[in-house]
Chain A
């Protein structure tokens, strides 16, 4: 079972169009349509909300912050700083202020326009630089949402004795998740059997228990009266990790006040404008090395833009900091990471979760060091890449499943790096001779991504899964891990089947619903297969063993024995398992030392590009990716994760850009101008799955979800630099900043030429 290309179990409804996403759920009786009134300013003080008296409000429900007391007016996540609806202080453009519901959608829209907001405008803080300089204090005392320091050895002192010390500053920008199905929920209140009020949320979401927690807080509900159920979800990529709590709270408020079910589905524009995005970052990297290329010391100063509220920023920043030194061996490390508040919508989870930002910087900087040393970027990586037994920036000794070198070697071989690079150089000379205005280039990145929660996260979280025996000798997996396209449904069944010996076809999966499934922890951090999958296996095995014991005692087939057992115990034969993290060196959150992750996934990306010397358009001709995600459970699904994630990285590098106006609004909140790659822009992928098993993962699996987002952008930048290196000479980095839009490359080249 493990390692087989089992067709995905949710495939049939998806290809025939019967899979039911949130907006496919038929209207409930009396259902209303909910919309949000948002702040038209990035910063200001709300004085008054006025409902246009000439508008007919009779069949319209309006909710404002006045419908809640302050204690309950919070979106419960890490800090309780974000209100469900802004009351006085407006902290970002598009911040929710009021909610409207009406049976008639057109009228709901018109009502939205009939709400007049009286606001005293304040000057917003829109950039990391302005926030750092405390141009205005928009959060806490100094705009600092969170900071970390990681230190091993003494980098500053070590630089003194290095033969080369090079510093560079690298910037990355916002990225919109752009899942194709926008955010949406349906909220409904109903009386339970005891007459008490219950709340049901049905929605497109990644983490049912996050929503559950938020509902409980705002509505003062006990665990068993808030019910959150996931519908088939049309993509998330982190964008449906924390944000659905906001949509759910809004719909629930409207449903409560109106006494009717409320459907809230965002339009594309609203979704791009109001929901979370990838954190922008500025990283300054210093590497000290010997003339022979041996890395000695690294220092990284990382600033991230958290947006207006804390949301998940501390965790994103932490992961960014922990990945800032890359996949390389240094004797001395020093990382300073700081997240700052700005007057922009809160940034949040997006595949990679902080790591792509810092990996961009370190990978770009390794290229700059290679250039300074006159070395091939591949060889310099080869020389310094982590091996088993090496130590990371937190002092973690890499002892299990260290696949970096295997990935580099596999990619090098598939690409035939040396020969290909030489061929490209010759080809470029020919192009130049023929007066052709394009050049080719090849670039590389090597990277790793910590699998699972950071540090003691899993120990605190205590993720759980249950497996039940059901009639006919079937097993039913109950887990809160959602399938948002990655194939969790299929892979969990494969794990359960292979560990328990029960046939794949006899394994079912409960729809994630907080009333029916235990809290397995959120579907994030590449933890689903490695962490939750491992307890799925355990639970399935335990149930199967009980049935087998029954078979042994009283005979019959597995199904017969199972049914007999069920009858005898009076209904439930079940196993509830809780995750026990493998024993590692304790991670100390105060000093950021110890084992940050149980293991890492590894990869090497190689990109070949063609760059137009006139227009600076870049075409990715081919992308090779060699990834070690441990034992692969389903190669097709796994390669699909690698390719899809890598294309998101390519999009971030070459096309995607959130354009901010000076007032803090977004100028391109539409799919016609927020540009993601189409099928003709995407390169052919050659995906190589290198399998270095991780003993504690199910069947030896690690995590794959986020890794592919990390290396695509730097590999492309490296290739573009190679292509342009035939025409231009520069020092340090030619392309230190994302995105690599033609206009930006054009400006950079012009700046270099003058």
Chain B
């Protein structure tokens, strides 16, 4: 820990040098009841809280714990059929080799996040922790049988990403836990994958709807179909009805049944970026388009 270097109206800045140090500090802060923020790339936190001066909101008494230099958090372990990405892995890393070839879906998703400057700083753990239903990273990880590694001073546990979110901006993470890693399944070599982001523009855009999919087909039968869809419900959705409809079937899908399945899985709303009606329409359309691409 590099000491309490800065005090700004009583706000403290601390920098963790290792994961152990980070979790023990978080544990201590939680038990002392002191308000604190964990800071990684800052692309959500700094924007949201305007915690930096000259902002009025640098509230006294809190601690900012910077974990952007914790080496364990940017580690990547390739174990063949699964890869474990440290929570601090950035989008830019995912876009680059060797990871781009290993999981092209994530590379493609990463290319659509913000723009280079955001990709260079923004992290997977930050995206998951923010828990926005529009999160592209979460959406891209959804079809990959992803486990979220939660680490606290008292130990580590793994939670499936699809069960991690419990409501709008609510998650299973306890305040004393950090997201240490995400562990993803590497799709089969010949697996079909799709990433389709419909945003407000082609870069620096928040998703109006995004779809991530991994589909594995054997002898004309869909064996494995997993999805993530962003911005169509209070949390990222895995399109369970669509999955149920497709798995174990051939690639010729009844479109009316498909639309109905999508309708069951989404509950979009109007906001400043788009409308619920449009989102529902687009959700159906991108799923249709995906199934069409399976037959070609």
Contacts and interface: CB of A to CB of B under 8 A. Distances in A.
Chain A in direct contact with chain B (Cβ < 8 angstroms): yes
Interface of A: 105-106, 109-110, 113, 435, 437, 614-615, 617, 619, 655, 659, 667-668, 672-673, 675, 677-681, 742-743, 746-747
Given A106-B58, A678-B201, A742-B278, 12 more contacts: A105-B54, A106-B54, A109-B55, A110-B56, A614-B286, A615-B286, A678-B202, A681-B202, A742-B198, A743-B275, A747-B277, A747-B278
A673 B202 contact: no
Size bin of chain B's contact surface: 20 to 34
Contact of A672 (B115, B206, B278): B206
Contacts of A619: 202
Nearest to B295: A435
Contact of B201 (A110, A615, A655, A659): A655
Contacts of A614: 281-282, 285-286, 288-289
Interface in B244-274: 272-274
A109 B56 CA distance: 6
Nearest to B56: A109
B166 interface: no
Contacts of B292: 435
Contacts of A743: 274-275, 278
B202 to A, nearest CB: 4
Contact of B281 (A437, A659, A746): A746
Contacts of A655: 200-201
A109 B200 CA distance: 32
Contacts of B273: 673
Contacts of A435: 292
Interface of B: 9, 53-56, 58, 115, 198, 200-206, 272-275, 277-278, 281-282, 285-286, 288-289, 292
A106 B285 contact: no
Given A106-B53, A614-B289, A667-B272, A675 B201 contact: yes
B56 A113 contact: yes
Nearest to A616: B278
Contacts of B55: 106, 109
A680 B201 CA distance: 9
B56 A678 contact: no
Contact of B204 (A437, A659, A678, A742): A678
A615 B286 CA distance: 8
Contact of B289 (A437, A659, A747): A437
A555 B55 CA distance: 66
B198 A617 contact: yes
A37 to B, nearest CB: 14
A113 B275 CA distance: 34
A743 B270 CA distance: 11
Q: Considering the complex of A and B, which 10 residue pairs feature the smallest CB-CB distances, nearest first?
A: A614-B285, A105-B54, A109-B56, A680-B202, A743-B278, A678-B203, A675-B200, A680-B203, A667-B272, A681-B201
Among A617, A619, A747, residue most surrounded by chain B Cβ atoms (within 10 Å): A617
Contacts of B58: 106
B200 A673 contact: yes
B54 A668 contact: no
Given A668-B272, A672-B206, A746-B281, A615 B198 contact: yes
A106 B11 CA distance: 14
A659 B272 CA distance: 7
Contacts of A659: 272
Contacts of B281: 614, 746
Contacts of B274: 742-743
A603 to B, nearest CB: 26
